[in-house]
A and B are shown apart, each in its own frame.
Chain A
């Protein structure tokens, strides 16, 4: 069963959606504020579909989308570490920083460039429900990629200050993209069953997307060497706990509450 793989996809969408929603009310302009909120709602919708699918497959009478989103803890989440990081450059734990739009945009770009390829591959998954979710999500991811790519180029090819900040954001984020392509048992099993996408086969295309954009933005592509993060294995950075605390507190304070 590919439950962990579906959770991996769903958790990616939920956690990045939650992160991007932190721009709500703080966007650089009202128009961009709405664009990021739209992005979050798309991701939340993807997470819901994937969690509902998990609940259906488990069919144990208790698993539900709410249970998966609100009642699991840090080690249960299978999202990429990059998606749980705050909207700022590297910090010591507990430090407070303001939102850095370049980090937000850089992350959305690197992630949606991957997901366009992943959803394309999953459109022919043997899991028909997953294939349908992929077909729907591909359109959303394509727009997210277009939106983020547009900003990477604008900021990179903009003023000296915006160029410097976009470059710093990419340097901060790029090492985390190694996790996109590192092997894991749940991904290998899902790919072998014809259900999941093998990201190692997508790397050349992803590199091409990144290189084209970085070049158009007059930026340098930073090296992606060093520590390989392990969020998809359930071993996360210190940041995910804070994200979950904020996201889950209401549901946990009022269990079983209904609208």
Chain B
């Protein structure tokens, strides 16, 4: 009766299903924000699962899913070269300008 039932405890889904990054737009938010990742067999499946995992507590009104492999990420080893040079250039922050009162709140 149970010849079809997989006996090994390992979940093959985790090996076979690709990884997806999930972005959710909250009710107030204008932009979709990255909130996590999940395994799913294709895009439609990933949307379903994202709904079940990331919007269970009314977090969102819209979901995007993106294949994780489509994301090109910066290399953590490049961090000093990429980001440290910005550390001592405080003049790039627009805090040295006098704003006329007439402009009001910016």
**What is the bound-complex CA distance between A89 and B3, given in angstroms?**
11
Judge whether A146 and B48 touch: CB under 8 Å: yes
With A31-B49, A34-B53, A150-B48: A100-B38 Cβ-Cβ less than 8 Å: no
Instruction: Determine the chain B residues whose CB is within 8 A of the CB of A34 once the complex forms.
Output: 49, 52-53, 56
A29 within 8 A of B: yes
Judge whether A28 and B56 touch: CB under 8 Å: no
**Partner of A154 from B2, B4, B41, B56 at Cβ < 8 Å:** B41
Mask, A154-184, CB within 8 Å of B = 1, is 1000000100110010000000000000000
**What is the bound-complex CA distance between A29 and B46, given in angstroms?**
12
A243 within 8 A of B: no
With A88-B1, A91-B1, A164-B4: A35-B44 Cβ-Cβ less than 8 Å: no
With A89-B1, A97-B1: A28-B53 Cβ-Cβ less than 8 Å: no
**What is the bound-complex CA distance between A32 and B17, given in angstroms?**
12
Instruction: Determine the chain B residues whose CB is within 8 A of the CB of A146 once the complex forms.
Output: 48
**What is the bound-complex CA distance between A150 and B53, given in angstroms?**
17
Interface residues on B, range: 20 to 34
**What is the bound-complex CA distance between A164 and B3, given in angstroms?**
11
Closest residue of chain A to B50 (Cβ to Cβ) is A31
List B residues 51-95 near A (Cβ within 8 Å). Answer: 51-53, 56
Closest residue of chain B to A96 (Cβ to Cβ) is B2
Instruction: Determine the chain B residues whose CB is within 8 A of the CB of A246 once the complex forms.
Output: none
Contact surface of B with A, Cβ cutoff 8 Å = 1-2, 4-5, 11, 13-14, 17, 38-41, 44-45, 48-49, 51-53, 56
The 4 closest A-B pairs by CB, nearest first: A29-B13, A31-B49, A35-B52, A98-B5
